[in-house]
Amino acid sequence: MPPLSKMTMTYEIGDYVDIDPEPAVQKGLPHRRFIGKTGIIIGKRGRAYLIQIKDKKREKTLITLPEHISPSKSILS
């Protein structure tokens, strides 16, 4: 069971987040290629967040649940 603080955390559009998967929750899990990447919240769909990341030369949009993201540590410091 993931921590409730991670599940109930809310993010605003424009926040920087790190892709940090929670193995206890399989639903909404991002592809392993994006683990450890940093992106920007660009929207919300139900409980899930739309995250824009840069993958090589392309901008990509991920749809993932809040259990699998955390506030970015690299942008905060």
Token pair 């399989």 in the structure block, residue? 26
CA torsion, points 4, 8, 9, 14, in degrees to nearest 10? 150
- Which range marks the domain in which residue 41 is found? 4-76
Question: Residue 71: what pLDDT?
Answer: 92
Amino acid letter for position 46 = G
3-state secondary structure 15-27: CEEEECCCCCCCC
Between these two residues, 1 and 65, which has the higher pLDDT value?
65
- Cα 66-69-73 angle, rounded to 5 deg: 140
Q: Give the total number of structural domains in the chain.
A: 1
* Average pLDDT of the residues of the chain: 89
Q: What is the mean pLDDT of residues 16-33?
A: 90
In this prediction the pTM is: 0.86
Question: The domain that contains 67 carries what CATH number?
Answer: 2.30.30.70
Residue 46 is predicted with a pLDDT of 94
Q: What is the mean predicted confidence (pLDDT) over 32-40?
A: 93
pLDDT of residue 76: 58
